[in-house]
A and B are shown apart, each in its own frame.
Chain A
Amino acid sequence: MHRISCPFCGARDEIEFHYRGDATVLRPAPGAEAEVFYDYVYTRDNPMGWHIEWWHHVSGCRQWIKVLRNTATHEIKAVSKAQDKIEKPR
Chain B
Amino acid sequence: MTQPMRLSSGGRVDRTRRIEFRFDGQSFEGHPGDTLASALLANGVRLMGRSFKYHRPRGALTAGPEEPSALVELRLGARREPNTRATVAELFDGLEAKSQNRFPSLEFDIAAINSRLSRFLPAGFYYKTFMWPAAFWEKVYEPLIRRAAGLGRAAAEPDPDEYESMHAHCDVLVVGSGAAGLAAARAAAASGARVILAEQDFELGGGLLLDPAREAWRTEMVLTLAAMSDVKLLPRMTVVGFYEHNVLGAVERVGDHLAEPPPYKVRQRFWTIRAKQVVLATGATERLIAFPGNDKPGVMLASAAETYVRRFGVAPGSRAAFFVNNDWAYYAAFALKQAGIDVAAIVDVRAETAKAVAAHHLGIPLSLGCEIVDVQGGKSVRGVTVRKRDGSGVSSLECDLLCVSGGHDPAVHLASHTRAPLIWSRELAAFLPGKPVQAERSAGAARGVFGIAAAARDGAEAGAAAAEATGFKSAAGFALPAPDDAHHTSLEPFWEVRGPGMNGGKSFVDLQNDVTSADIRLAHQEGYEHVEHAKRYTTHTMATDQGKTGGIVGVAVLAAARGDSIEKVGLPTYRPYVTPVTWGAVAGREVGKHLVPTRRTPMHQWHLRRGGVFLETGLWLRPLYYTTTGETGWEPILREARAVRRAVGICDVSTLGKIDVQGPDAAVFLDRLYTNTFSTLPVGKARYGLMLREDGMVFDDGTTSRLGEQHYLMTTTTAKAAEVLEHMEYHAQVAWPELDAQFSTVTDQWVQMSVAGPRARDTLLNCVAGLDLSNSAFPFMAIGAGEVDGCPVRVFRVSFSGELAYEIATPAGYGERVWRAIIEAGAAFGILPYGLEALSLLRVEKGHVAGPELNGQTTARDLGMEKMLKKQGDYIGRVLAERPGLTDSRRPRLVGIRAVDPSFEKRLRGGAHLVASRDSIDSLGWVTSVTRSVELENWIGLAMLKRGPDDKGKRLYAAYPLKNETVEVEITSPHHIDPENARVRA
List the interface of chain A (C-beta within 8 A of B). Answer: 1-3, 13, 18, 20, 26-27, 30, 32, 34, 37-38, 40-41, 54, 56, 58, 62-64, 73-76, 82-83
Contacts and interface: CB of A to CB of B under 8 A. Distances in A.
Given A32-B879, A73-B244, A75-B244, 7 more contacts: A13-B247, A20-B730, A37-B879, A37-B880, A41-B694, A54-B730, A64-B734
B727 to A, nearest CB: 10
A26 B733 CA distance: 12
A70 B855 CA distance: 34
Given A1-B245, A41-B694, A30 B733 contact: no
Interface in B696-740: 726, 729-731, 733-735, 737
Contacts of A34: 879-880, 882-883
B880 A27 contact: no
Contact of B695 (A30, A41, A73): A41
Contact of B245 (A32, A64, A74): A74
B730 A56 contact: yes
A13 B272 CA distance: 11
11 contacts: A1-B247, A2-B245, A3-B247, A13-B247, A27-B694, A37-B879, A37-B880, A40-B694, A41-B880, A63-B729, A75-B244
Contact of B735 (A26, A32, A41, A63): A26
A26 B729 CA distance: 15
B271 to A, nearest CB: 13
Q: Which 7 A-B pairs have the closest CB atoms?
A: A30-B874, A74-B244, A27-B735, A37-B879, A3-B245, A1-B247, A64-B733
Given A41-B695, A73-B419, A82-B733, A2 B244 contact: yes
A31 to B, nearest CB: 9
B245 A62 contact: no
A82 B879 CA distance: 24
Nearest to A32: B879
B245 A38 contact: no
Contacts of A13: 247
Nearest to B695: A41
A37 B731 CA distance: 15
B243 interface: yes
B437 interface: yes
B859 to A, nearest CB: 15
A3 B274 CA distance: 9
Contacts of A41: 694-695, 880
Given A26-B735, A58-B726, A64-B729, A73 B437 contact: yes
Contacts of A3: 245-247, 274
Interface residues of B, number: 25
Nearest to A58: B726
A41 B877 CA distance: 10
Contacts of A64: 729-730, 733-734
Contact of A62 (B437, B729, B735, B880): B729
Contacts of A30: 873-874
A3 B192 CA distance: 24
A58 B117 CA distance: 61
A37 B883 CA distance: 11
Given A1-B243, A1-B245, A2-B245, A54 B734 contact: yes
Contacts of A83: 737
B730 A63 contact: no
Interface string B854-886: 000000000000000000011000011011000
Contacts of B247: 1, 3, 13
Nearest to A1: B247
A14 to B, nearest CB: 9
Nearest to A62: B729
Contacts of A73: 244, 419, 437
Contacts of B726: 18, 56, 58
Nearest to B732: A64
Nearest to A30: B874
A30 B870 CA distance: 14
A58 B873 CA distance: 30
A1 B730 contact: no
Interface string B837-863: 000000000000000000000000000
A82 B274 contact: no
A35 B437 CA distance: 42
A46 to B, nearest CB: 18
Contacts of B874: 30
Nearest to A2: B245
Contact of A63 (B274, B733, B880, B883): B733
A63 B729 CA distance: 8
A30 B671 CA distance: 13
A51 to B, nearest CB: 14
B695 A1 contact: no
A3 B733 CA distance: 22
A73 to B, nearest CB: 7
A75 B694 CA distance: 31
A38 B880 contact: yes
Contacts of A75: 244
B747 to A, nearest CB: 14
B659 to A, nearest CB: 12
A38 B884 CA distance: 13
Contacts of A26: 734-735
A38 B879 CA distance: 9
Contacts of B879: 32, 34, 37
A26 to B, nearest CB: 7
A81 to B, nearest CB: 9
A13 B437 CA distance: 20
A29 to B, nearest CB: 9
Contacts of A20: 730
B856 to A, nearest CB: 14
A38 to B, nearest CB: 7
Interface string B231-263: 000000000000111110000000000000000
Contacts of B734: 26-27, 54, 64, 82
A1 B272 CA distance: 10
Contacts of B733: 63-64, 82
Contacts of B880: 34, 37-38, 41
A27 B694 CA distance: 9
A5 B519 CA distance: 51
Contacts of A82: 733-734, 737
Nearest to A82: B733
A56 B245 contact: no
A71 to B, nearest CB: 12
Contacts of A32: 879
A30 B653 CA distance: 36
A58 B725 CA distance: 10
A27 B736 CA distance: 9
A54 B735 CA distance: 12
A37 B694 contact: yes
A20 B694 CA distance: 14
Nearest to A40: B694
A40 B419 CA distance: 34
A35 B297 CA distance: 72
A3 B275 CA distance: 11
Contacts of A38: 880
Interface string B318-339: 0000000000000000000000
A87 B880 CA distance: 30
Nearest to B167: A13
B794 to A, nearest CB: 25
A36 B243 CA distance: 39
A73 B571 CA distance: 21
B872 to A, nearest CB: 11
A13 B419 CA distance: 21
A34 B873 CA distance: 15
Nearest to A34: B879
Contacts of B735: 26-27
A75 to B, nearest CB: 8
B762 to A, nearest CB: 43
A64 B940 CA distance: 45
B822 to A, nearest CB: 34
Contacts of B695: 41
